[in-house]
Amino acid sequence: LNKMVPEVVFVLGAPGAGKGTQCSLISKEYGFVHLSAGDLLREERQRPGSEFGEMIEEKIRNGEIVPVEVTCSLIHKAMQQSGRERFLVDGFPRNKDNLDGWERVMSDKTKLLFILFFECSQELCIERCLGRGAAGSGRSDDNLDSLKKRFNTYLNDTLPIVQHYEQMGLVRKINAESPPEQVFEDVKDVFSDAGM
């Protein structure tokens, strides 16, 4: 009867803007569960017997977006398995298909608090991802060819989603070009303004 509706913050920003890095800081400080859609997809890709493994790998390498049915059910499952009530959904929704799919299945089951949006120049983002690749990330998309495609998708498909939420007054913009601890200071302001 009085069951709490799970609260969700969507975390968006270009590839390499620092979404994952900031989400781990936030989860430590504020007790949100960090769910990276990309990590969930990479896990599913490795799961023995997954019928989606090859499709996911191909999409990721080409910087394309996996159909929402797959991504959304992984997010939903992870939310249920956590047994918790506050979530950072990192790197989702990335396009109209993602947005519509979430609205269909999840918007009645959750409360969207706001969108945390990390802004960082393309040059810096690419430098960070290439640096991570060179340091042995093992990610099949940390190469210049995939990065160009990831950025195309980001500009064409993801930015319109940010604009959609901006019109609803839900976007909290953060400059993500300074060092992580400094970026996190601005993140904390957003969470404290939200009463956390």
Residues lying near ligand UP5 in the complex (CB under 6 A) are found at 13, 15-21, 36-38, 41, 59-60, 63-66, 71, 91-92, 94, 98, 128-129, 131-132, 141, 150, 176, 179-180, 183
Task: Give the contacts of 23 (CB within 8 A, at least 6 positions apart).
Answer: 11, 32, 34, 36, 88, 90
First-to-final CA distance of the chain: 25
Interface segment toward Mg ion; rule CB under 5 A; list 12-20, 55-63, 164-172, 173-181: 12-20
Distance between CA atoms of 48 and 2, rounded to whole angstroms?
A: 39
59 vs 172, beta carbon nearer ligand UP5: 59
- DSSP category for residue 170: -
Structural contact between residues 70 and 52, judged by C-beta atoms closer than 8 angstroms = yes
101 is in the binding site of which of Mg ion, ligand UP5, none (Cβ under 5 to 8 A by kind)?
none
| Spatial contact of 89 and 75, defined as CB atoms under 8 Å apart | yes
150 is in an annotated binding site: yes
Nearer to ligand UP5 (CB atom), residue 60 or residue 113 = 60
129 binds, among ligand UP5, Mg ion, none (CB under 5 to 8 A by kind): ligand UP5
Pick the closer one to ligand UP5 by CB: 20 or 53. 20
Give the nearest distance from C-beta 7 to ligand UP5 in angstroms.
19
Q: Exposed e or buried b for every residue in 144-168, given b needs 16+ CB within 10 A?
A: eebbeebbebbeebbeebbeebeee
Instruction: Pick the closest to residue 16 from 123, 145, 149 (CA basis).
Output: 123
Find the shortest distance in angstroms from Cβ 196 to ligand UP5. 21
Min separation Cβ 149 and Mg ion, Å:
16
Tokens representing 16?
């390499």
Interface with Mg ion (CB under 5 A), residue from 7, 20, 140, 166: 20
Shortest distance (Å) from residue 111 CB to ligand UP5: 20
Six token digits for residue 82: 């956590």
- Say if residue 91 carries a ligand binding annotation: yes
- Per CB under 5 A, residues contacting Mg ion are 19-20
